[in-house]
């Protein structure tokens, strides 16, 4: 029996069902929990395909950091749900338009003929299979060697872009008030200790 095929169907079906639950539930906490289930199922599919590095990277980054961060933020904000009436025809038309554009992009991607493109543009494409060039290494070592040598500049630029985005989000979310009372250490140190205490005699 082909257990890998059954496991692929199992993980893929649960991923599709969980992704539908993410966008259909009104509770944000439940949506984040189903999103974590989607990431776990995709991790199982990547392990079946032999991409161990991408599987554990998805598990550590998305499930261990981003999804848990979403969960804590949603639970700490204590979002109050308000029922609003939406026009069902507007939702149907918008969803149909988005789905048709998505399917059109998929069919255009599948229908590309690379031989026709090469004959028209006269561009010789060269494909490098890094796995065959590094047969004695595993997936993690191959990705590390390629990422930190051939594509080191793009790797550093992506890190810089993420750093700029993080700083921009912090600056936009900071709220500084002008009338806020702050502690002045210098005024506290030069204060006279003799006038700091006042004794009041209460008549009995």
Question: pLDDT by residue (tens digit) across 10-31?
Answer: 899 999 999 888 888 877 778 8
Average pLDDT over residues 168-192: 71
Q: Which range is least confidently modeled, 83-92, 118-127, 156-165?
A: 118-127
Which contacts (CB < 8 Å, 24+ apart) does range 188-193 have? Answer: none
How far is it, in rounded angstroms, from Cα 105 to Cα 112? Answer: 11
- Please, what are the domains in the chain? 1-79 (1.20.120.1200), 129-178 (no CATH)
How far is it, in rounded angstroms, from Cα 48 to Cα 26? Answer: 33
pLDDT at 30: 83
Annotate 144-179 with DSSP letters as a single string: HHHHTTTTHHHHHHHHHHHHHHHHHHHHHH----TT
Residue 128, CB-side half-sphere exposure with 13 Å CA sphere: 6
Average pLDDT over residues 49-60: 81
Helix, coil or strand: residue 136: coil
% residues pLDDT > 70 (the chain): 72
pLDDT at 144: 78
- The single residue listed with the structure tokens 């810089």 is 160
Burial class (CB in 10 A: 0-12, 13-18, 19+), 35: buried
């Amino acid at each position: 029996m082909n257990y890998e095929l059954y496991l692929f169907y199992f993980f893929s079906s649960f991923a599709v069902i969980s992704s539908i639950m993410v966008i259909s539930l009104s509770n944000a906490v439940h949506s984040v929990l189903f999103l974590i289930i989607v990431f776990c199922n995709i991790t199982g599919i990547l392990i079946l395909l032999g991409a161990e590095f991408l599987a554990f990277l998805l598990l550590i980054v998305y499930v261990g950091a981003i999804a848990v961060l979403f969960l804590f933020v949603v639970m700490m904000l204590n979002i109050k749900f308000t029922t609003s009436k939406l026009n069902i025809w507007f939702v149907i038309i918008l969803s149909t338009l988005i789905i048709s554009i998505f399917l059109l992009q998929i069919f255009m991607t599948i229908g590309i003929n690379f031989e026709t493109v090469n004959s028209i543009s006269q561009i010789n494409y060269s494909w490098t299979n890094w796995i065959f060039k590094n047969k004695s290494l595993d997936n993690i070592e191959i990705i590390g060697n390629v990422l930190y040598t051939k594509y080191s500049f793009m790797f550093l630029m992506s890190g810089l872009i993420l750093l700029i985005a993080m700083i921009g989000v912090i600056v936009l979310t900071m709220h500084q008030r002008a009338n806020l009372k702050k502690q002045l250490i210098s005024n506290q140190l030069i204060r006279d200790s003799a006038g700091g205490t006042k004794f009041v005699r209460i008549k009995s």
